[in-house]
Amino acid sequence: MRKKRETLKDGTKVLIRDLHYEYLDKLMKFYRSLPVEDRVYLKVDVTKRKVVEQRMKLNEEGTFFRILALHDDEIIGDGMFEIFKEEWRKHQGELRVIVARPFQRKGLGMLMFRELHSLAMKKDVDKIVVKMMKPQKGAINICKKLGFHKETVIPNYVWDQADEPQDLVIMTCKPKDLWRELEHSYSDSDWQRCR
């Protein structure tokens, strides 16, 4: 079981751990507390309990890996790494992270990316994919800083949670490139020990 205590840039103590069913209620509270403008670009409506339960069950398949960030026993971040099941893409994995607004720009997203990167390395993935909608400029910029490169933009390919068509941005990177950028971006002593 993954369970790691970390300290954010501002000194806030957090716990990074694997997702388990006992956290379902806390996860629902976290999702429902996200501003509408953050939720609108998510793949699914995370305010629906059945949707979240179905996604949690995917962990049992061995191709989905979920982690949580907690502060004072409240969820403040959610991350997922999915290994594609199709034979022709089994060398690829998709990474997703969402952080509560009060904890953004404090290094939490980087810590979560680091943990998910570690999973990717253990699973021998040689390409990491992120997919976002074009208005998610902050997320796109963070991914650029982490070594992701824009592969393509598909116009009006997806619909957001407000039923508006959006361009889909697909970015990729090699795990070693992501590691190099994470190492450069985060220089905590614990970070150095985990190499």
Gap between the Cα atoms of 18 and 56, Å rounded: 11
Residue 1: the pLDDT is 60
Residue percentage of the chain with pLDDT more than 70: 91
Percent of the chain topping pLDDT 90:
58
List the domain boundaries for the chain.
3-189
Edge-to-edge strands, sheet with 127-133: 3-7, 13-18, 64-71, 74-83, 92-99, 127-133, 165-173, 149-159
What residue type is assigned to position 172 of the chain? T
* AA identity, residue 25: D
Res 189 pLDDT > 50: no
pLDDT at 31 over 90: yes
Task: Provide mean pLDDT across the span 166-178.
Answer: 89
pLDDT: which is higher, 176 or 41: 41
Mean pLDDT of 168-187: 77
Asked if 38 contacts 90 with a C-beta cutoff of 8 angstroms, the reply is no
User: Alpha helix locations (H) across the chain?
Assistant: 24-33, 36-39, 49-57, 108-122, 137-145, 175-185, 189-193
Q: Which fold does the domain 3-189 belong to in CATH?
A: Aminopeptidase (3.40.630)
How does pLDDT run across 33-85, given as a tens digit for each residue? Answer: 999 988 999 999 999 999 999 888 887 777 789 999 999 999 999 999 998 88
